[in-house]
Amino acid sequence: MRNPVIQIQDVYKSFLIGEKPSFWKRIVGGKDTRRTLEVLKGVDLDVLPGETVVLIGSSGSGKSTLLRCINKLEVIDSGKILVNDHLVGYRESGAGLVAESAKETARKRTDIGMVFQHFNLFMNKTALENVMAPLMHVKKLSRQQARALAEPALERVGLADRMENYPSRLSGGQKQRVAIARAMAMEPNVMLFDEPTSALDPELVGEVLAVIKNIAASGTTMVIVTHEMQFAREIGDRIVVMDGGQIVEQGPPEDVFGDPKHSRTRALLRRSGILDTPETEAVTVFPELDDD
């Protein structure tokens, strides 16, 4: 069996919350009131080649942070993340592992496509120029070579007739499809989607989901953070449920949605209208007595 494309091992991540006290405040002995918020608390997760893993969980459970750690948009406090067998943030040298430079991080990121909630398009460039930009500036392709990859990428997401449009002339769904084409044109071997439909009007969600499904069907390894439970159920090879910075349950969609084991999963699915068992579940006080 091939190695997992992504290996996340015992990852911890926290943020410092609050404002750094000013120089003058410190001079007069003012206290630093910042506090540490632990967002990831020992996460382990492997993603296999061609697999689509969907992260679900309540707001603030750490899904986006975990996704962002995979391509070093966030730096982990401890643990390890390997992508394509390379340790994120480090490179091998004769002397062992050394911290990688910003340039090396940028180069490694070309293997990992990322699609954000808010598209992140250049507003002063057409759809085609948006897709060509990283091909030229990161992959250093000529304009002609970049165009030869960008056009089919836009065709693939159904935007053959919108290539010359500026983002201001595109709907939210079309903008997100340009962002997907831009990531896919780089031919990454992993795609990360961070709530790709949550900034869209409901009637535009379907077209973006259809494009993502199409990419999944082509065998690209994907990790998707979403609140769209129906979509998660349809597209996920594996559903991973996060709560309070930890993975509380994972498995095939039919198990997680059909027979959720963890109380936090059941609460999440109830809130999403997927599970309609009553709020007051029977609580097994003495599980050992239930065995026979």
Ligand X SMILES: Nc1ncnc2c1ncn2[C@@H]1O[C@H](COP(=O)(O)OP(=O)(O)OP(=O)(O)O)[C@@H](O)[C@H]1O
Query: Which residues are at the interface with ligand X (CB under 6 A)?
Result: 15, 17, 37, 39, 57, 59-65, 225
- Least CB distance to ligand X at residue 147 (A): 35
Q: Between residues 41 and 125, which has the closer beta carbon with respect to ligand X? A: 41
Pure H helices in the chain:
23-27, 63-70, 102-109, 127-137, 143-156, 172-185, 202-217, 229-235, 253-258, 263-271
Q: Between residues 163 and 208, which has the closer beta carbon with respect to ligand X? A: 208
b/e map of 99-133 (b: 16 or more CB within 10 Å)? ebeeeebeebbebbbbbbbebebeeeebbbbbbbb
Q: Between residues 17 and 106, which has the closer beta carbon with respect to ligand X? A: 17
Q: Between residues 26 and 35, which has the closer beta carbon with respect to ligand X? A: 35
Q: Are 223 and 195 in contact (CB under 8 A)?
A: no
- Least CB distance to ligand X at residue 72 (A): 14
- Least CB distance to ligand X at residue 34 (A): 10
At residue 231's C-alpha, the angle toward residues 276 and 46, to 5°, is 105
Q: Between residues 181 and 208, which has the closer beta carbon with respect to ligand X? A: 208
Cβ contacts of residue 273 below 8 Å, gap of 6+? none
Q: Which has the closest alpha carbon to 131: 192, 178, 173? A: 178
- Least CB distance to ligand X at residue 65 (A): 3
Q: Between residues 17 and 210, which has the closer beta carbon with respect to ligand X? A: 17
- Looking up tokens 């979509």, which residue turns up? 231
Q: How far apart are CA 181 and CA 157, in angstroms?
A: 7
Q: How far apart are CA 123 and CA 60, in angstroms?
A: 30
- Least CB distance to ligand X at residue 280 (A): 26
Q: How far apart are CA 130 and CA 132, in angstroms?
A: 6
Q: Which has the closest alpha carbon to 136: 123, 157, 122? A: 122
Q: How far apart are CA 24 and CA 35, in angstroms?
A: 20
Phi, psi of 201 (to 5 degrees): -65, 145
- Least CB distance to ligand X at residue 59 (A): 3
- Least CB distance to ligand X at residue 28 (A): 27
Q: Between residues 56 and 184, which has the closer beta carbon with respect to ligand X? A: 56
- Least CB distance to ligand X at residue 74 (A): 7
Q: Between residues 42 and 60, which has the closer beta carbon with respect to ligand X? A: 60
